[in-house]
Structure 1
Amino acid sequence: MNFGYCESCLQHETGKRHPESPDRLRAIRQALAEKHAVEYVVPDSVNLERVHAVHDKEYVAEFEEFCQQGGGDWDADTVASEESWKAALASAGIAEWAAMAALDGKDGRETPFALGRPPGHHAVEDDAMGFCFFNNAAIAARSVIDRGRADRVAILDWDVHHGNGIQDIFYDDESIFYASIHEDGLYPATGTIDETGTGEGEGTTMNIPFSPGTTQSAYLAALTELFGPALDAFDPDLLLISAGFDAHEHDPISRMRVSTEGYGLLTKRVRQIADDTGAALGFVLEGGYGLDTLTASIGMVHEVFSGYQPAPDDGEVSDPARDVIDQVKAQGFIGVPE
């Protein structure tokens, strides 16, 4: 894969005990270096015009001033330092690069993966939350549409937490399809099955809230039975994966049961879905807080694009997970058979 990265992202300091720390990126780079010959692209930071296309100008100015004054606790979970402003611009710029590179034809072993922080999928139009300040994937999606590089973009969010920010920003937008597979009831307690979009965006939001303990077997079934058919009907030019790895069975802050090999299977499946629909494909890092599981999972994604074939899944879809899939089908998404 082609990895986008910028040293500025390490300067976003959150404190020694905060799970979203610079050590995440350091660990990823170290692990990749130990097993792979990896080269990095250093994209430009995002232009403020692109940020303002997604976020309220007053909020953006408030965040900049907050950092200039030294930062601190924005809320109980979300922390900034003086350099967080530059890191947030860099992180969004890396996501924008991933979207543009994918549309430029970078695929296969050159598929782009944005390794930025702070993450973005919880950031709403006018506020930061959940470790996130700028909504990286949303900025990237809006940018390629505004530039005329794409007419429609799909975002698949497999982070264990629901990406409320992406959903809110595009909830009435017919040009963006947002799908989230997440742990039901976990922060921020949004993303119910009946949240499907509004107005012109009705039917362009798909939420798949699985119960704690769900394995990759259900994730794979959801991709095959729900997301794949919906994406085929939506026909996007670009598919972005909001790639959090905190649904891993050994992640410290969730209770889901996706294995490292399972992330390989998810990667293989979304790659096939993108190929089948003719969509360019890019990845944007979100969560993942166990350093060993985070690095192993990203390494697995990389290996799949280098030709590795993950072992077939021999698990079964649990009854609660099957019920969720059936309830989502009943929402009547275009392309999804009931």
Structure 2
Amino acid sequence: MRFGYREICLDHETGPRHPESADRLEAIRRRLSRLHGIEYETGDSVGVERLERVHDPEYVAAVESFCAEGGGTWDADTLGTESTWEAARASAGLAVWAAAAALDGRDGRDTPFSIGRPPGHHAVFDDAMGFCFFNNAAVAADAALERARVDRVAVFDWDVHHGNGTQDITYDDPDVHYSSVHERGLYPGTGEVGETGGEGPERTNLNVPLPGGCGDAEYLAAVDDAVVPSVERFDPDLLIVSAGFDAHEHDPISRMRLSTEGYGVLTDRMRTLAGETGAALAFVLEGGYGLDALAESVVMVHEVFDGREPVEPDGDPSERARAVIEEVRDAHDL
């Protein structure tokens, strides 16, 4: 894969013991350094005008002022410093780079993956929350649409937390399909099955809120039986994966049981989905707070594109998970 990375993203400081720290990117980079042929690209930071296409201009100005005044605590979870303004614009720029690189024909072993921070999928139209200031995936989707490179963009979010920010920003947009498989009841408490899209779009917002304790079999069933057929029907030109790795069995802040190999299977499904729909494919880092699990999972995504065949899970999904998936299929007429 081609990885997007900028050192400025390390300068977003969140304080001691905060789970979203620069240690995350450093752990990924250390693990990738053991592999041959890893290449990095930097991309460009997004400007205010690009951010204002996705976020409330007053909110964008408030973040800039907050950082210029030295930062501090935006809310109980979301902290920043003077450097956060530049880091957040760089992180969004890396997502824009990943989408543009995919649309330029980067695929296979050159599939782009942006590893920036702060992450983005909790950032709503007019507020920061959940460690996120600007919605990187939404900014990337909008840039592709605004530049008339695509007609439709799909965002698939496999982070353990529902991407309420991405849903908030894209809910009424018929040109963006958002889907999420996440742990029901976990922060931020959104992402129910009945949230299927605004008045204009028709079933362009798909949520699979799985019960805690689900693993590879449940995730694969959710993707195969709900996410894939919904995205296929939407027929996107660009598929962005909001790749959080906090559903991992060794992540400290969730109850899910997804394995490193399971992330490989999900990656393979997204590669196949992009191929079958003719969509360009890009990955954008979201969460993941167990450093070893995060780094190994990112490497697994890379290795799938480098030729590794991931091992399909044994066993069937639980009855509780199957009931949720069937509810989703009914809600979306799949």
> Do they superpose with TM above 0.5?
yes
One-letter amino acid of the counterpart of residue 132, structure 2 = C
Query: 1:223·1:270 contact (CA, 8 Å) conserved in 2?
Result: no
Q: CA deviation at 1:219?
A: 1.2
1:6-45 → structure 2 map (5 Å cutoff): 6-45=6-45
Q: CA deviation at 1:231?
A: 1.3
SS across alignment from 2:151: coil
Question: How does the TM-score come out when normalised to structure 2?
Answer: 0.99
Equivalent residue number for residue 318 of structure 2: 318
Single out whichever of 311-320 and 236-245 deviates more from structure 2. 311-320
Provide the aligned length of Structure 1 versus Structure 2. 334
Per-residue CA deviation, residues 74-100 of structure 1 (Å, 9 max, x unaligned), is: 000000011000000000000000001
Distance 1:216 1:177 in 2: 24
Equivalent residue number for residue 277 of structure 2: 277
- Confirm whether residue 111 of structure 1 aligns to residue 105 of structure 2: no
Equivalent residue number for residue 156 of structure 1: 156
One-letter amino acid of the counterpart of residue 181, structure 1 = V
1:197-208 → structure 2 map (5 Å cutoff): 197-208=197-208
Equivalent residue number for residue 166 of structure 1: 166
One-letter amino acid of the counterpart of residue 236, structure 1 = P
Single out whichever of 75-84 and 31-40 deviates more from structure 2. 31-40
Equivalent residue number for residue 261 of structure 1: 261
1:179-194 → structure 2 map (5 Å cutoff): 179-194=179-194
Structure 2, unpaired ranges of 5+: none
Distance 2:43 2:174 in 1: 29
Equivalent residue number for residue 95 of structure 1: 95
Distance 1:272 1:123 in 2: 29
Distance 2:323 2:276 in 1: 27
1:102-141 → structure 2 map (5 Å cutoff): 102-141=102-141
One-letter amino acid of the counterpart of residue 318, structure 1 = S
* Identity in percent: 62
Distance 2:132 2:219 in 1: 25
Equivalent residue number for residue 300 of structure 1: 300
Equivalent residue number for residue 220 of structure 1: 220
Query: 1:73·1:79 contact (CA, 8 Å) conserved in 2?
Result: yes
- Runs of 4+ in structure 1 displaced over 6 angstroms? none
1:233-244 → structure 2 map (5 Å cutoff): 233-244=233-244
Equivalent residue number for residue 75 of structure 1: 75
Distance 1:263 1:45 in 2: 29
Q: CA deviation at 1:216?
A: 1.4
Single out whichever of 148-157 and 46-55 deviates more from structure 2. 46-55
CA RMSD of aligned residues (A): 0.8
Q: CA deviation at 1:332?
A: 2.9
Per-residue CA deviation, residues 232-272 of structure 1 (Å, 9 max, x unaligned), is: 11110000000000000010000001000110111011111
One-letter amino acid of the counterpart of residue 294, structure 1 = L
Structure 1, unpaired ranges of 5+: none
Q: CA deviation at 1:16?
A: 1.2
Per-residue CA deviation, residues 18-67 of structure 1 (Å, 9 max, x unaligned), is: 00000100110010001333110011101221100000111111110110
Query: 1:172·1:202 contact (CA, 8 Å) conserved in 2?
Result: no
Single out whichever of 39-48 and 89-98 deviates more from structure 2. 39-48
Q: CA deviation at 1:171?
A: 0.7
Distance 1:80 1:332 in 2: 39
Question: How does the TM-score come out when normalised to structure 1?
Answer: 0.98
SS across alignment from 1:254: coil
SS across alignment from 1:168: helix
Q: CA deviation at 1:315?
A: 2.5
SS across alignment from 1:200: coil
1:47-86 → structure 2 map (5 Å cutoff): 47-86=47-86
Single out whichever of 176-185 and 223-232 deviates more from structure 2. 223-232
SS across alignment from 1:201: coil
Distance 1:40 1:73 in 2: 32
